[in-house]
Chain A
């Protein structure tokens, strides 16, 4: 008999069907991947097993864990199971810990509660498990508070809490989604080791097929609360029998079709010869994909960043000592040609977003210069900046936070029109908004709706519509697709590629996801601790990274094809 068996589980919440006849089984020592897009019922499955569902839920079917019928178990029995035999790791390391308790207390709490151990014993065990998850006491004493740790370290604490009592089953709900690829790899390796050590069952919930392919022995693919396909990972992902599995797999390795101006690899070389073959490319930009050398011939680069540094005031150690400034961006220089698509990749906290803000003139460099179309951007008043602002717009990561919830789409998209010298009249404005909506694949009638009426992918389209309405020459996109499901992500990437083609807009694409960088950009810059450590053509840098930082990123990036190939190699 399996460790966890879910049979024909159905779940309604306030009359809404969430799960429909779901089946799943996990054996001890097995990693089960549960894959699906947002809203497919992955997390609700986990919460059902934990019996942590919201109040208005009704369940039918059978869930047995280690011989216990979970659905009919009284709350007291569940309290004994949770945190003892079943552990859970949540997605958001920033909010899953209690900010006013030390990490030692939080780990020891569960140990004391379940085993009745006294404080010193519980603390000794907490010390041991924290050491096991990579937080040795010498550097991370039990008296640390969550805010003193980074995201990856907090996720380790959460894993320590979940695994402190050697649970038989660990449920990890998107445990690495909020982390960058390097941390993701470390956390996944830790989970894998813990599974092997304790013969623990692991239910790994993820929307990322590559992560699951790498980790899971078997996968269950869910959609709209139903199991689409289940079985051995390698078999499912190589055969891709079910159309939905194929769709997911294709979306996660999706590369938008792009031609001439943006496929700079070859175009860059051709461009140098002066022959530009794409007629659809509007007003003669510099040769696309031109390597970032000093302006050659007639066209100056669109954006030039020269020796930009940004210091933030650090924390003062004492009242009298001067604060040590923290250098977020350190002497960065590069240039970007019109129509070019450049990726800026790096781990979280490396200064990518700070650099982007300075380019957008939302923050001022401590030193150095940023020029857009020959006009300097820093140290200008808002009024003087207007011509430059017209030429550059921004798309943010969070499709939920990017809009004023109290404005209609028309007003949201029309916001940058404020930059025009002559404000368009109302009807003209509506026309421009309709046009922008059309460009991004939405209906003009959508302009009278509020942002909450749209899905995440649609909101990101609205965000792009807002960015292109002034016909800028540069769009800075800060992780524009990392909050989206794979299939939506593929569509939005297509849209970016298409707009690059049709409108000739250049991109600075900030991402930690190398698949995205590879799919959509010509050039890539790798940033590490505020410095640009490597740059060049995307394919060259990513296939053959030269620096330590770039190598770490490439090695850690989950890759679906590689993971499947490795799995096949193992079984063969």
Chain B
């Protein structure tokens, strides 16, 4: 069985047409692709080795050799930003993956079964929601020790209720529709209907939510590493760079400005992408044929 969304050339052409006309979508897409390309490039080439400390070059300003300057240990800031993007993206991708992988099945299950199960799952969701996400992430990393893996798990857990909510709301709106009733009259079970009819029809809202959660994931990772609970040295990360730079804000502002800009631009790009996607995919904005 093929994925219906991709086998619908008409829809795809419509999507492309809309996408090319949407300013925010294209801007977001270009920024996101550039950041991704930067992360990919860092695997094969960076201007300097970020694990190589050259103390003689420490605290340099902007120059041709070091376009963004160097930090207090003589590492090249541009190279650190490039390598740090890997960490940010990886953490955010896996965290969104965990959120979707657990949240979407839970939400669909709750919508399909209804009754007390729905009630229990959603109240549990509320409980997770009620914890301030960052504080709880700090708690988790404090208990299990700091590190990139624990940061991923902590951020991922807080994505679960978000996706569960979105999936449940989308599925609930579909269940009373006549084509679902027809599928039930054709003897299909709830699991099969969810896979065949519900998921393809809520895929677009999940995609939009995914890009937004991705941006939030990057922010959360930066926050955790800023507190020293994310990726550990010598692995560079944007949040950690900000932390290292803050005591020297007055004498070497470049050390804080560039990682800060990296975070802002990435999150902005992803948010624009998500906004654009929502405008394009929102069925209410789409002309009904």
Contacts and interface: CB of A to CB of B under 8 A. Distances in A.
Contact of B187 (A389, A396, A403): A389
B289 A393 contact: no
A362 B5 contact: no
Interface string A42-78: 0000000000000000000000000000000000000
A362 B181 contact: yes
Interface in A199-252: none
B13 interface: no
A386 interface: yes
A270 interface: no
Contacts of B200: 404, 406
A132 interface: no
Given A386-B187, A389-B186, A416-B185, A406 B8 contact: yes
A397 B182 CA distance: 12
A403 B185 contact: no
B284 interface: no
Contacts of A390: 187
Contact of B186 (A357, A398, A403, A419): A419
A154 interface: no
B203 to A, nearest CB: 9
B67 interface: no
Interface in A273-317: none
Contacts of A405: 201
Given A394-B181, A404-B179, A406-B4, A415 B186 contact: yes
B188 A396 contact: no
B184 interface: yes
B207 to A, nearest CB: 14
Interface in B155-211: 177-179, 181-189, 192, 196-197, 200-201
Given A385-B187, A415-B188, A416-B187, A402 B289 contact: no
B187 A419 contact: yes
Interface string A328-352: 0000000000000000000000000
B185 A360 contact: yes
Contact of B182 (A392, A408, A466): A466
B190 to A, nearest CB: 8
B178 A396 contact: yes
Contacts of A408: 7
Interface in A373-426: 382, 385-386, 389-390, 392-394, 396-398, 401-408, 415-416, 418-419
Contacts of A401: 177-179
A394 B178 CA distance: 10
Decide if the interface of chain B is mainly helix, strand, loop or mixed: helix
A312 to B, nearest CB: 14
Given A406-B200, A450-B10, A394 B182 contact: yes
Nearest to A415: B186
A119 interface: no
* Most chain A CB inside 10 Å of its own CB: which residue of B179, B183, B185, B200: B185
Contacts of A392: 185
Nearest to A466: B182
Interface in B1-56: 4-5, 7-8, 10
A402 B187 contact: no
Contacts of B186: 389, 393, 415-416, 418-419, 466
A452 interface: yes
A393 B69 CA distance: 73
Nearest to A398: B178
A407 B4 contact: yes
Nearest to B176: A401
A382 B185 contact: no
Nearest to B201: A406
Interface residues of B, number: 23
B185 A394 contact: yes
Contacts of B179: 401-404
B185 A393 contact: yes
B8 A382 contact: no
Nearest to A452: B289
Contacts of A389: 185-187
A382 B189 contact: yes
Contacts of B183: 404, 415
Given A403-B179, A404-B201, A362 B4 contact: no
Nearest to B188: A418
Nearest to B177: A401
Nearest to A417: B186
A398 B180 CA distance: 13
B199 to A, nearest CB: 10
A406 to B, nearest CB: 4
B182 A415 contact: yes
Interface in A441-497: 450, 452, 463, 466
Nearest to A388: B187
* Most chain B CB inside 10 Å of its own CB: which residue of A392, A404, A407: A404
A366 B181 CA distance: 20
A469 to B, nearest CB: 9
* Most chain A CB inside 10 Å of its own CB: which residue of B187, B188, B197: B187
B10 to A, nearest CB: 7
A450 B8 contact: yes
Contacts of B197: 404
A403 B183 CA distance: 9
Contacts of B185: 360, 362, 389, 392-394, 416
A394 B186 CA distance: 9
A398 B178 CA distance: 8
Contacts of A463: 182
Given A397-B178, A401-B177, A452-B289, 15 more contacts: A362-B184, A401-B178, A402-B179, A404-B179, A404-B200, A406-B8, A415-B183, A415-B186, A416-B185, A416-B186, A416-B187, A418-B186, A418-B188, A419-B187, A466-B186
Q: Which are the 9 A-B pairs with shortest beta-carbon distances?
A: A416-B186, A406-B4, A396-B178, A389-B187, A401-B178, A419-B187, A415-B186, A452-B289, A402-B178
30 contacts: A357-B181, A360-B185, A362-B184, A382-B187, A382-B189, A386-B187, A389-B187, A392-B185, A393-B186, A394-B181, A396-B178, A396-B182, A398-B178, A402-B178, A402-B182, A403-B179, A403-B182, A404-B197, A404-B201, A405-B201, A406-B5, A406-B8, A406-B201, A407-B4, A408-B7, A415-B183, A416-B186, A418-B188, A450-B8, A466-B186
Interface of B: 4-5, 7-8, 10, 177-179, 181-189, 192, 196-197, 200-201, 289
Interface of A: 357, 360, 362, 382, 385-386, 389-390, 392-394, 396-398, 401-408, 415-416, 418-419, 450, 452, 463, 466
